[in-house]
Amino acid sequence: MDRESLENFINLVIPYLKNKPVLRDIKKSPVLYVGDIHGNYQDLQNAFAIANKKKVSTIVFLGDYVDRGSEQLRTLIKVMDAFARSEGYSKYGIVNDFIDEQKYPYLVIALKGNHEDIEINQKYGLKEELVNIHGFRTFPKLLLQLLYAHLPLVARTRWKTLAVHGGIPLPDRHEKVSEIMKHLDTKRTPLFIDYTEESEIELGKGIYQLLWNDPVNGIDKNLLKFTPSFRGYGIYNFNKAALIDFLQNNGYKRLVRAHETVKEGGKVLWDNVLIHIFSTSPYFGRIQNKGYFLEYDDGSGEILNGKGDKMITVDEII
């Protein structure tokens, strides 16, 4: 795909993604949650195959479509095509020499991950692929930045499950527990943060942490709900107590997230209130399993393997 084709495609789909909530509501089950894909196109196709097999109502991609894998642009285009078709986009023949353009019998929601970021793309693979493989003369920063600004940040279900890429944010200095959900509830795409406004600065910090923060078991003994992360400045680890406070304060029962590798493909943590999945393999030669979370409207569900077979039963949340 050349730059002109990419630009044409993005310009065609963006009208269907603009002025949409950054918090996306899901009313029907079952829901299939898909973790990081990282440019592995066959793993993406595998996720669609499992969604078809399980006859889901909705498939939620938790972000990180590019960087590190061998077919990053193809993966990104496929996810954006599927997402846009759930929003009303119906053109065919635009990129059908690059991906398989098709209809989807379920709703597709594509959340933003920390790798849907042009600065990250220039370090971890997408820029290199566009320049060296697709022949782009320069990295299309503004074009991709515009596309990423039209992606939602959170999916939430009628039965009180919350899905994000990374984790929960640290409360700002005016809050005991982060109330970012209330701040985001009125926000629509494209979402750009105005860093000249103090309130927007705090919101920007919270969004950054939704994409980057991680759960950690070992800090409960210290009674510290948040601790600085090895990932860098402004990123935090959170413990079970922090998550329980956040969920209760914002009216939710469970968090589903991706962002980190999981040796088994998926984990159920902290009395079923945290589901952690990772959906691409092999990954750096370490991770050989990919996982998905299939959830029903009573909060019960299953962690599935790459064939769509049940690995772990997930109990409903009371």
**How many residues are recorded in the chain?**
318
Residue 40 CA to residue 206 CA, distance in Å, equals 29
Neighbour count for residue 121 (Cβ, 10 Å) = 25
The 10s digit of each residue's pLDDT in 112-123 is 999 999 999 999
Q: Return the domain boundaries, the chain.
A: 3-13+27-165+253-314
Q: Which of 128-137, 189-198, 218-227, 258-267 has the lowest mean pLDDT?
A: 218-227
Residue 89 CA to residue 154 CA, distance in Å, equals 21
**Torsion (CA) 305, 255, 159, 45 in degrees, nearest 10:** -30
Q: Which CATH architecture has domain 3-13+27-165+253-314?
A: 4-Layer Sandwich (3.60)
| pLDDT score for 133 | 95
| pLDDT score for 221 | 58
| pLDDT score for 190 | 98
| pLDDT score for 161 | 98
Res. 282: pLDDT tops 90? no
| pLDDT score for 182 | 94
| pLDDT score for 289 | 86
CB 57 within 8 A of CB 31: yes
* Run of H or E including 303: strand 301-304
Residue 23 CA to residue 18 CA, distance in Å, equals 13
Mean pLDDT of 234-243: 95
Mean pLDDT of 13-33: 98
Q: Which of 61-65, 78-82, 195-199, 262-266 has the lowest mean pLDDT?
A: 195-199
Taking the complete model, does pTM exceed 0.85, yes or no?
yes
| pLDDT score for 220 | 57
